[in-house]
Amino acid sequence: MPYFTTSDGTELYYSDQGAGQPVLFSHGWPLSSDAWQVELKLFADAGYRTIAHDRRGHGRSSRTYTGNDMSTYASDLAELVDHLDLTDLVVVGHSTGGGEVVRYAAQHGQGRVVKVATAGAVPPIMLKSGSNPEGTPIEALDAIRAGVLKDASQFWKDLAEPFYGANRAGSAVSQGAKDDFWRQGMLVGLAAAYDCVKAFSETDQTDDLMAIDVPIFIAQGGDDQIVPIAAAAEKSIKLVKDGTLKVYPGAPHGIYGAYQNELDQDILAFIKG
């Protein structure tokens, strides 16, 4: 298993397979690069080099107490990309990973990144405020932190339900998918899981979105119960220079099933276009 050590001594696990133009995938909270297993194979089979890392504190990477913030996540990614010397790079991020790749592309990606794709991403800012009334109330975010501290194992089981829309009538999400969400959640360090809530909800990425000067594909499920679409994709598309927005009616926050199949084909088409 390949590991890379960042400048502050954090070990990052990453997967690297296939050959061709590089496509780097960044996962959501509290998951790991395993969340992209289907895409890593599908895109490699389509002729791309596919890379995905476990964010610091998550998966098989170091269980860090410090640096669990969006700027450090993006800096870690920049160091990994530099280490692998990736150019003509496409970055793809889901949820928190969407925030990570947006900040990376805006602040570190010049000369390397040629396209950005996000799905259910947290930018521009998730927290509800007077200027962002569509966002998530701080009380709901505090409840997430309390749940993680009280009984993380049960919290991941509970969170999988709205994450995949399993609490909706007619949901076809499998028990296996929910079990795998729990499995990945149990690998995250508690400090990283706790601190990441602030990172994904309170980081204002308005300037990052405005700074991106390459094409960006912004996707979000129309029934996303985790990241409010009115505070996320619908605002992000108005801030970017060269963006395409696609909303998937009825789709949840988690990438699964028919939504996953359609999204993957759309991203492949976006890269080729």
How much is the average pLDDT of 152-172?
97
Residues that are catalytic: 95, 224, 253
Instruction: Return all residues near 231 (Cβ < 8 A) that are at least 6 apart.
Output: 124, 125, 126, 128, 132, 134, 135, 136
Residue range 3-272 in CATH 3.40.50.1820? yes
Phi, psi of 94 (to 5 degrees): -110, 130
Q: To which residue do tokens 């932190």 refer?
A: 145
pLDDT band (50, 70, 90) for residue 238: very high
Percent of the chain, pLDDT > 70?
100
What pLDDT shows up at residue 229?
A: 98
Beta bridge partners, 166, equal none
pLDDT band (50, 70, 90) for residue 1: low
Alpha-carbon gap, residue 202 to 84, rounded angstroms = 31
Mean pLDDT for the chain? 98
Whether this prediction's pTM lies above 0.85 is answered by yes
| pLDDT digits 0-9 by tens, 98-134 | 999 999 999 999 999 999 999 999 999 999 999 999 9
What pLDDT shows up at residue 30?
A: 98
